[in-house]
Structure 1
Amino acid sequence: MKLSLKTILLVVGIAFIATNCSRKKDTFLSRNFHALGTKYNILYNGNIALEQGKASINDAFTENFWELLPVERMQVTDEVILPGQSKNADFERAEEKAIKAVQKHGMNIQGKEKNPQIDEAYLLLGKSRYFDQRFIPALEAFNYILYKYPASDKINSAKVWREKTNIRLENNELAIKNLKRLLEQEELEPQDLADATSILAQAYINLKHKDSALQQLKVAETYTKNNNEIARYNYIRGQLYNEFGHKDSANMAFDKIIELHRKIPRAYYINAHLEKIKNFNYADGDKLAYLEYLTDLEEDRENRPFLDKIYHHIANFHLNNDKDSLATVYYNKSLAKSKIDKVLNTRNYATLGDMSFDVAKYKTAGAYYDSTMTNMKLNSKPYRLMKKKRDNLDDVIYYEDIAQRHDSILNLVSLSEEDRLAVFSEFTEQLRIRVEQEKAKQLEAEEAAKRQNSGINQTIPGQKGQLQKGGLAQTSSGRVVPGKPGGNGKSNFYFYNQNTVSFGKNEFLKIWGERDLQDGWRLSDKRGGDSDSGTEELIAEATDEELFDPQFYISKIPSDPKVIDSLTKDRNFAYYQLGTIYKEKFKEYELAKNKLQRLLQNIPEERLVLPTKYNLYKLYILLNQTGEAEAIKSDILANYSDSRYAEILRNPESALASDENSPESLYEKAYRYFENQDYTKAIAECEKHIYTFEGEPIVPKFEILKASARGRLYGVKAYEEGVNYVALTYPNSEEGKKALEILNNSIPLLSKKQWYDNDSSSKFHVVYQFKRDANEDVDAFIKRLNEKVEKVTYFDLSTSKDVYDENTIFVVVHGLKSIGGAAGFAEIIGEDKDEKDPIIRPYFSISSGNYTIIQRHKNLEEYIQSQ
C-alpha cells in the first residue's frame, strides 16, 4: 500500500510539473524553469564554445606590428562560405546552442517573449556568426534583438555588436552615425562604452580620419578593464601619434603598455619597447644609455622569441652611427633568427642590399635585392619598385665590371717594365703565402681526420650497437651493417667529417672560384663572384712553374694598339653609361658626377665629350654647385656653339625636346623612311645618328631600326647579324633584351626555307618585276594595273608595291585563290583584245607562303628554278 502511494504521488508530481512548465503557459514556474534551463545549460555550454572559438582565432592570428594594428584582433578572409557551412566547429556549436535555446525554451506568448534569457540566446547567435565571418546573418540576429526586445538589458550590447558588424561590411558612415547617437542618448556600462568607442575609432581609421580616432581610443582605454585591450588601444594610439610626428605622446602611450609588463602578452610589451627605440633622437639623445637599453633587451632570456626584431633595431642603431660592419653582423643575426616575419626579412635584406650598393658591391646588392623580393607580396607596389631597382642594377653590374676590369688592365699597360715586375712580384709572393697557408690547413685537416678515424669503432666488450672499425655497426641481433652519423656512432665517410668537408670547400674555391649550380659549371663564363674572376681564371690556367713566376702574368698584358684602343673605348663608354644610370635611374648625383669627371680625365673620344659635359652641368645644378655649373656652361657655349646642347643652354625654356634636331624627332624621321620602304635612306639615317648620339639611350633604338631595315633589304641573315649585334652591344637596354628574345624565338622560325606546296595554299599572288635603274614609271604601271583589277568582280583583288632588294621592286596583285588562277589572270589582262593598252610584261605567280620566303631569304632565282 505504501509503495503504491509513493508511485501515485510521483506520477502526480511529474504531471503537475509537466503541465505547469509548458512553453505555452505564462506561469511563474514555467518562466523560471525555462530561464534556468536556458541560462545554466544551453547558453552556458554555448558561451564556452564561443570562447574556445575566439581563443582558436587568437592563436591562429599573427599580428603585423609593422603596420597600424586593427582595433579588433581578428583576421577576415575572402574565403566563400556556403549556406550551412562553418569555418570553425566551436562557433558552429555555439550557434547550435543558441538556436536550441530559442527552439526548446522560447516562450513567445501572444507576441511577447516570456523567457528573459532568449535575448541572450540571440546575442550568442549573432556573436557566433560574427566570429565565423558570416556577417549578414549576424546582422540579422542583432537587428532581431533591437526589434523584438527593446526593453532587454542587453540592448546596448546588441547595438554595439550591430555596428561592429556594419564596419565589417564596410558601412563605416552608418556605424559612426549610429554609435554617436548611442553615446549621446544612452548611459552605457563601462565595458559597453569601451567597446563602442573602440569600434568608433576603427570606423574613423577606415575612413582615414585618424585624428578623430585618437580621442575615442583614449576613452576606450580608460573604461575597459581588460588588460589586453588596454595594451592594444594604447599601442594603436602610439602608432597614430607616430604617424602625426608626436613622438613624446607616442612614447607616453607605449610606456603605459610597458607598465603592464607581465599582465599582458609579451608581444605587446616587446613591441612597445621597440617602438620607443624607433623614436630615439640620434642628434640629441644619450647614445650610450640607448645602447645599454638595447643590450638589456638582447640579454633578457624572456625576450628570446623576439631576438629577430631586437637584432634588427640594434643593427639600425649601429647603421645610424656609421658602424656598418657591426650593423651587417646584426642584420645577419636578425635574418638567422627570423623565420616567418616577411616584413622583417624584407627590411633586413633591403638594407643590406643598399649598404652593398653604397660601397659598389653591386653583385652582392643584387643578391640581397633578389632575397628581398622573395619576401614581398608579388606584384604589389613595393615589389614593383624593388624589381625596377633590381633590373636597373643589372646595367650597373655590367658596366661596373667593364670599368673596373679595363681600368686594371689599362693601368698595367701604362706601367714600365720595372713597375710591372714589382706589382707581380708582390702578387706572386702573396699568392705563395696563401698557397702555403692552404697546404698547412690541408695537413691539419688530414691529421685531424686521422686522429678522429683512429679513435673510431673501439667497441667496449659486452656492449652492442657501437660503431665497428671500418664504419660498420653491430646491431643487437649481432648483424653488422654500415655505420651512420649521429648518435654514439661515428663514420669515416668523407661528408661526415666536418674538417675534411671544410678543406674540400676551400680547395674547390681556390681552384674554381664561385660557381653557380648548373650544367657546364666548369666553363669560364659560368663563374660567379666579383669582377676579379679574370685573375682567378689565370691562376687556375697556370702550371706549377708559371704559378709563382711574375713574367707569366706580365706576358698576359696586352700590347696590340688595336686591343688597347678597344679596351679604352669600352672603358670610357662604360663610365658614360654609369654616369647616366646613376643620374637618371638612381638619383645618386655624387656617384654620377664622379663617374663623368673620371671619364673626362681619361680623354674620351670626341663623341662622348659634349654629352658628358652637358650631363655634368645638369648634375652641378642638382648639387647646387653653381660655380662649376657656370664654368662648364661657358665651355659648351664657347666650344660647341652650334650643338643642340648649346641651343638648350641658350634657350632653357623652349621645348627643344621635340624640335627637328632632337634625337626623338630624328628617329621618327628615320622610321618614316622605313615605313615607306625606303630602306636605304633609313639605314643611312640610322648610321649617321648612331655616330652623332653615341653614348645616349636612344642609340639602341637606331640600331634595332637599322637591323630591321637591313633585314627587309638583304634578308634574314642580315637581320640576324644586326639583331645579334644589338643583343651583344646593348645587353641591358630594352632594345638589347628584345633583340635577345628575337634571336632565341623569332630567328629560328624566320630561318626556315622549305617551299610550301601550292595544293595546300589558299592565297596566291601575281608578281611583276622592275629594276630601280631602268627608269621605268612604276607608279604609272600600278595605276594601269589597278584599272584592270577594278573590273574583276569575282575576286577581292588588291595591289601593292614591295621592295625586294636594293635593285629590284615588285608590283604584286593579291587575292587570287590558286596558282593556275593567278597565271590565268595575268594572261587575261595581257591578252585583252578589247583594251587598247593591255598589260604585257613578264610575271610569275606564287603562293603567299612562298612569297614570304623569297622576301626573307632573297632567293627568287632558286624559286624560279624550282617551278
Structure 2
Amino acid sequence: MKAPIKAILLITFSIVLVTSCSRKKDNFVSRNFHAVTAEFNALYNGYLALEQGRNALNESYADNYWDILPIERMQIQEEVVLPGQSKNENFNRAEEKAVKAIQKHSINIEGREKNPQIDEAYLLLGKARYFDQRFVPALAAFNNILNKYPTSDKINQVKIWREKANIRLENDEVAIKKLKRLLDEEELEDQDLADATSILAQAYLNTKSVDSAITQLEIAANATKNNDERGRYRFIQGQLYNKLGYKDSANIAFDKVIELNRKTPRIYMISAHIEKIKNFDYETEDKLALLEHLTELEENRENRPYLDKIYHQIGEYHLNNESDSLAIAYYNKSLRTNSQDKLLKAKNYQTLGDMSFDKSVYEIAGSYYDSTMANLVLNSKPYRIIKKKRDNLEDVIYYENVAHVNDSVLQLVNFSETERLEYFESFVEALKVKAEEEKERAEAAERNSNSGLVTANNVIGVQGPKSGLPNQAAAFYFYNPTTVGYGKNEFIKIWGDRALEDNWRWSNKTTSGSGNNNALDNDIVASASEEERFDPQFYISKIPSEEKAIDSISKERNFAYYQLGLIYKEKFKEYHLAKSKFQNLLNSNPEERLILPSKYNLYKIHELLDENDEASIAKNEIINSYPESRYATILNNPDLAGLKDENSPENVYESVYAMHENQEYAEVISKCETYINVFDGDPIVSKFELLKATATGRLFGYEAYKKAINYVAITFANTPEGKQAQKVESQILPKIASSDFVEETDDASTNFKVVYKFENAKSDKIEEFQKTLDSVLKNIKYYNLKTSVDVYKPNTTLVIIHGLKNAQVAKTFDQLLTKEDKRKVTEPYFAISSANYQIVQIHKNLDTYLSLSNN
C-alpha cells in the first residue's frame, strides 16, 4: 500500500513542478529554475566552447613585430562564409548553446524578460559571432541587448563589444564617439575600463591619431589585471613612441615590458629588448655594453625559441660596427634556426644580398635576392622593389661577366710568349691536381657503390622479394647519393648553375656560378681531348691573334663598361662604381661613339658627388672639344635641358615609329639602319632594332621576320626588347609558321575581303581610287562596307574592302554595283577569306593563292 502512495505523490509533485516551471508563468520557481538551468547548462557549455575557440585563434595567430601590433590578437580572414556556415566549430557550438538558452529558457511575459540570464545568452551569441568574424550579425545581437535589456548588469560590456564590432566594420568615427560618451557618462573600473580604453586606442590607430592612442593605452595598461594584456599594451606604446620619433619614451615603455619578465608572454619581453637595441645610438652610447647585453640574451637558455631574432640583431650590431664577416656569420645563423618569421628571413637575405652587391659579387647577390622574394608577399611593395633590383641585376651580371671574360682574353693577348707559357703551365698544373682529386672521388664512389650493392644483395637474400628492391638496384647511378653528388658537382663546375629549360647549353643561359671562373675557359676545357686538356700549347693556340677578332673583343668589353656605368648611375645610384666604369672605359682606347656620352656621364656623376673641380674640368673639356654636340648645347644652356630636344634619341624614335604606323615600312627600315649607327652605344638602339625587325616582317614576310627577330633576341638578350623578341620567337612564330591555306566556306563566322592589287602605283593614284571606292560603297544597301590600304611588298599595295560574310557575294562583288558605279570602278579584283588574307600577308604567297583559286 505504501509503494503506490509514494508513486502517486512523486507523480503529483512532478506535475506540480513542471506546471509551475512553465515559461509562461512568472513565479519564483519558474524564474529561478530557468535561470539556473540556463546558467549552468547551456551558457556554461557555450562559454567553454567560446574559450576553446579563442585559444585556438591565439595559437594560430602570428604577430608581425615589424609593424605596429593590433590591440586584439585576431587574424581577419578574407574568404566569404555563406549564411549558416562557420569558420570555427567552437564558435558555432557557442552560438548554438546561446540560441538554445534563449529558445528554451526565455520567460517573456507582456514584453518583459523575467529570466536574468537571457541578456548573458545574447552577449554570448554576439561574442561567438564576433570571433567567427560575422560582425554584422554580432552587432545585431549586441543591439538587441541594448534595446530590450537596458537595465542589464552587463550593459557596459555590451556597449564596448558593440563598438568592437563597429571598428571591425570600419565605423571608427562612430566607435570613437560612442566610447568617449561611455567613458564620460559611466564610472568604469578595472577590466571594463581597460577594455573600453584599449579598443578606443585601436580606433584612434585606425584613424592615424597616434597621440590619442598612446594616452588610452596608458589608461588600459594601468587598469587591466591581466598581465598578458598589460605587456601587449606597453609594447604597442613603445612602438607608437618610436613611430613618432620619441626614442626615450619608447625605451621607458619597453623597460616596463621587460620588468614584467615571466608575468607576460616572453615574446613581448624579447621583442622589447630588440626594439630597445634598435634605438641604440652607435655614435654616442657604449657599444661594448650593448655587445655584452646581446651575448647575455643569446646565452640565456629560455631565449632559445627566439634565437632567430637575437642572431639577426647581433648581425645588425656587427654590421653597424663594420665587422662584415661576423655580421654575415650571424645572419646565416639566424637563417639556420628555421625561423617561421618570413619577414625576418627576407631581411636576412636582403642584407646578405646587399653586402654581396657592394662587394661586386653579383651572382651571389642575385641568389640572395631570389630568396628574399620567396619570403615576401607576392606583388607587395617590398616584393616589387626587390624584384626590380633583381631584374636590374640581370644586366649587371651579364655585362660584368662580359667585361671580366674579355679583360682576361685581352690580358692574354698582351702577354709575351713567355708569360703565356708560364700562365698556362700553372693553369694545367691546377687542372692536373683537380683531375687527381676527381679520380680519387670517383674511385671512392665506386667502392661505396660496390659496398652498397653487396649490402643490398645481402638484405635481399634475407628478406626475399618482400624487400621491394631488384637485385641490381644499388648499382643504379641515382640510387647512390655519393655518385649523384659527384655528378652534380661536375656539372656545375663545367656548365655553371643552369635552369631546367630548353637550350640550357647556350652561354647566355648561365645564371650563377663562381665569379672567378672564366666561361670561355670552361667551354674550352670541356671541348678539349684528354691530351689537349693538359697541353699548355693547346690553350695558347686558342688566344685570338687576328686584329679583327681582337678589335671585336675590345669593342664588346668597352660597350659592357659603358652599360655598367649607366646601370650603376641610373638604376642603382651607385655613383662611385659608375665613375670607375666610365673611367676604365675612357682609359681603354674606346670607340669615338662612346667617348662623349661617357665624359658627359662622368660630369654628371662629379656633380652628384659634389666634386666641383672635377665637374668643371669635365664640362670645359666637353664644351671645348665637342662644341657642336647636343651635350655642349645643354651645358652652355642649362635651361634647355628640361625642354624637348627634337634630336634626342627618344624623339627620333617616336618620329620613326609614326612612320611605321603609317605603313612606310621601307623608309622605317632605312631610318632604323641610319639611327642604329648614329646612336650606337645608346640603350635606344635595341628599340630601333626591334622596330626594324617588325617593319622587315611586314614588308618581306615570315622568313625575313624570323631571321630579324632571332638577331634581336640574341644580340640584345638582356634588354626589354631582347626579351620581347625571345617571347615572339618562342611563342608567336610557331603559331604563324604554317603557310598552308584554309578551306574557304560560307560559315557565318567567316569574313571575306575584296582585294584590288596595284603594282608600282603612285600613292596619289591609290588614294584617289580609295576615295572613289568609298563613294561607291555608300550606294550599296544591306552591307556595311569599309576600305583600307595595306602595303604588301615594296612595290605592291592592296586596297581592301571589308564587311562581307559570303564567299559568293565577295567573288561577284561587281554585281552589287550600279551600271554607273561599275564605270567608276574598273580595276580587277579577287576575293579572299580573312584567315587566308592573314596567311598571304605573313608569308607573302599571294601568287600561290591566286594560282590555287583559279584552278
- Equivalent residues in 2 for 1:479-494, closer than 5 Å: none
Q: 1:523 to 1:659 in 2, by over 3 A?
A: closer
- 2:521 is the alignment partner of 1:535: yes
Kept after mapping to 2: 8 A contact 1:338/1:344 = no
Q: 1:327 to 1:685 in 2, by over 3 A?
A: same
- Equivalent residues in 2 for 1:773-792, closer than 5 Å: none
Q: 1:108 to 1:709 in 2, by over 3 A?
A: closer
- 2:639 is the alignment partner of 1:650: no
Q: 1:791 to 1:511 in 2, by over 3 A?
A: closer
- 2:753 is the alignment partner of 1:767: no
Deviation at residue 78 of structure 1 after TM alignment: 2.6
Q: Cα deviation per residue 1:91-150 (whole Å; 9 max; x = unaligned)?
A: 233233333333333333444333333322222222222222222222222222222222
Deviation at residue 339 of structure 1 after TM alignment: 4.9
Kept after mapping to 2: 8 A contact 1:762/1:817 = yes
Kept after mapping to 1: 8 A contact 2:555/2:591 = yes
Kept after mapping to 1: 8 A contact 2:172/2:203 = yes
Aligned residue in 2 for 1:392: 392
The TM-score with structure 2 as length reference comes to: 0.89
Looking at structure 1, the residues matched to 691 and 447 of structure 2 have their Cα atoms a distance apart, in angstroms, of: 66
Aligned residue in 2 for 1:694: 680
- Equivalent residues in 2 for 1:201-240, closer than 5 Å: 201-240=201-240
Looking at structure 2, the residues matched to 747 and 274 of structure 1 have their Cα atoms a distance apart, in angstroms, of: 57
Aligned residue in 1 for 2:245: 245
User: What is the DSSP-based 3-state SS (H/G/I as helix, E as strand, rest coil) of the residue aligned with 2:325?
Assistant: helix
Q: 1:799 to 1:107 in 2, by over 3 A?
A: closer
Looking at structure 1, the residues matched to 281 and 495 of structure 2 have their Cα atoms a distance apart, in angstroms, of: 49
Moved more, 434-443 or 734-743: 434-443
Looking at structure 2, the residues matched to 235 and 254 of structure 1 have their Cα atoms a distance apart, in angstroms, of: 6
The TM-score with structure 1 as length reference comes to: 0.88
Looking at structure 2, the residues matched to 863 and 35 of structure 1 have their Cα atoms a distance apart, in angstroms, of: 93
User: What is the DSSP-based 3-state SS (H/G/I as helix, E as strand, rest coil) of the residue aligned with 2:689?
Assistant: helix
Aligned residue in 2 for 1:560: 546
Structure 1 residue identity aligned to 2:654 = E
Looking at structure 1, the residues matched to 782 and 163 of structure 2 have their Cα atoms a distance apart, in angstroms, of: 74
Aligned residue in 2 for 1:462: none
Looking at structure 2, the residues matched to 282 and 585 of structure 1 have their Cα atoms a distance apart, in angstroms, of: 30
Moved more, 53-62 or 434-443: 434-443
Deviation at residue 426 of structure 1 after TM alignment: 2.8
Looking at structure 2, the residues matched to 129 and 776 of structure 1 have their Cα atoms a distance apart, in angstroms, of: 78
The match for 1:571 among 557, 566, 573 is 557
Kept after mapping to 2: 8 A contact 1:350/1:372 = yes
Aligned residue in 2 for 1:604: 590
Aligned residue in 2 for 1:268: 268
- 2:694 is the alignment partner of 1:712: no
- After superposition, the CA RMSD in angstroms is 3.6
Aligned residue in 2 for 1:806: 794
Looking at structure 1, the residues matched to 792 and 43 of structure 2 have their Cα atoms a distance apart, in angstroms, of: 90
Q: 1:80 to 1:781 in 2, by over 3 A?
A: closer
Aligned residue in 2 for 1:171: 171
Moved more, 559-568 or 779-788: 779-788
The number of residue pairs the alignment matches comes to: 843
Kept after mapping to 2: 8 A contact 1:764/1:818 = no
Looking at structure 2, the residues matched to 203 and 836 of structure 1 have their Cα atoms a distance apart, in angstroms, of: 80
Q: 1:354 to 1:771 in 2, by over 3 A?
A: same
Looking at structure 1, the residues matched to 110 and 155 of structure 2 have their Cα atoms a distance apart, in angstroms, of: 22
Deviation at residue 290 of structure 1 after TM alignment: 2.2
Looking at structure 1, the residues matched to 381 and 456 of structure 2 have their Cα atoms a distance apart, in angstroms, of: 61
Structure 2 residue identity aligned to 1:584 = E
Looking at structure 2, the residues matched to 835 and 674 of structure 1 have their Cα atoms a distance apart, in angstroms, of: 34
Looking at structure 1, the residues matched to 485 and 708 of structure 2 have their Cα atoms a distance apart, in angstroms, of: 49
Where do 5+ consecutive residues of structure 1 fail to align? Answer: 458-466, 485-490
Q: Cα deviation per residue 1:342-390 (whole Å; 9 max; x = unaligned)?
A: 2222222222222222222222222222222222222222222222222
Looking at structure 2, the residues matched to 707 and 272 of structure 1 have their Cα atoms a distance apart, in angstroms, of: 61
Aligned residue in 1 for 2:93: 93
- Equivalent residues in 2 for 1:738-757, closer than 5 Å: 738-757=724-743
Q: 1:155 to 1:614 in 2, by over 3 A?
A: same
Kept after mapping to 1: 8 A contact 2:345/2:372 = yes
Aligned residue in 1 for 2:377: 377
Looking at structure 2, the residues matched to 676 and 127 of structure 1 have their Cα atoms a distance apart, in angstroms, of: 68
User: What is the DSSP-based 3-state SS (H/G/I as helix, E as strand, rest coil) of the residue aligned with 1:710?
Assistant: helix
Aligned residue in 2 for 1:732: 718
User: What is the DSSP-based 3-state SS (H/G/I as helix, E as strand, rest coil) of the residue aligned with 1:529?
Assistant: coil
Aligned residue in 1 for 2:55: 55
Q: Cα deviation per residue 1:739-791 (whole Å; 9 max; x = unaligned)?
A: 2222223334444333455666752434243426x999555566666666666
Kept after mapping to 2: 8 A contact 1:607/1:691 = no
Looking at structure 1, the residues matched to 376 and 822 of structure 2 have their Cα atoms a distance apart, in angstroms, of: 77
Looking at structure 2, the residues matched to 788 and 23 of structure 1 have their Cα atoms a distance apart, in angstroms, of: 91
Q: 1:825 to 1:328 in 2, by over 3 A?
A: same
Looking at structure 2, the residues matched to 516 and 579 of structure 1 have their Cα atoms a distance apart, in angstroms, of: 28
- 2:101 is the alignment partner of 1:116: no
Moved more, 804-813 or 72-81: 804-813
Q: Cα deviation per residue 1:246-293 (whole Å; 9 max; x = unaligned)?
A: 222222222222222222223223222222232222223333332232
Deviation at residue 4 of structure 1 after TM alignment: 6.4
- Equivalent residues in 2 for 1:805-844, closer than 5 Å: 805-810=793-798, 843=828
Structure 2 residue identity aligned to 1:567 = I
Kept after mapping to 1: 8 A contact 2:773/2:825 = yes
User: What is the DSSP-based 3-state SS (H/G/I as helix, E as strand, rest coil) of the residue aligned with 2:93?
Assistant: helix
Moved more, 405-414 or 542-551: 542-551
Aligned residue in 2 for 1:181: 181
Q: 1:160 to 1:759 in 2, by over 3 A?
A: closer
Structure 1 residue identity aligned to 2:349 = Y
Q: 1:102 to 1:547 in 2, by over 3 A?
A: same
Aligned residue in 1 for 2:316: 316
Aligned residue in 2 for 1:304: 304
Looking at structure 2, the residues matched to 512 and 784 of structure 1 have their Cα atoms a distance apart, in angstroms, of: 66
The match for 2:578 among 580, 592, 602 is 592
Deviation at residue 604 of structure 1 after TM alignment: 1.4
Kept after mapping to 2: 8 A contact 1:593/1:619 = yes
Structure 2 residue identity aligned to 1:719 = Y
Looking at structure 2, the residues matched to 15 and 412 of structure 1 have their Cα atoms a distance apart, in angstroms, of: 113
User: What is the DSSP-based 3-state SS (H/G/I as helix, E as strand, rest coil) of the residue aligned with 2:830?
Assistant: strand
Deviation at residue 192 of structure 1 after TM alignment: 0.3
Q: 1:282 to 1:792 in 2, by over 3 A?
A: same
Looking at structure 2, the residues matched to 89 and 137 of structure 1 have their Cα atoms a distance apart, in angstroms, of: 17
Deviation at residue 205 of structure 1 after TM alignment: 0.8
Looking at structure 2, the residues matched to 244 and 597 of structure 1 have their Cα atoms a distance apart, in angstroms, of: 45
Structure 1 residue identity aligned to 2:692 = K
Aligned residue in 1 for 2:152: 152
Aligned residue in 2 for 1:488: none
Kept after mapping to 1: 8 A contact 2:562/2:598 = yes
Deviation at residue 193 of structure 1 after TM alignment: 0.3
Looking at structure 2, the residues matched to 779 and 188 of structure 1 have their Cα atoms a distance apart, in angstroms, of: 88
The alignment-based identity, stated in percent, is 55
Moved more, 377-386 or 7-16: 7-16
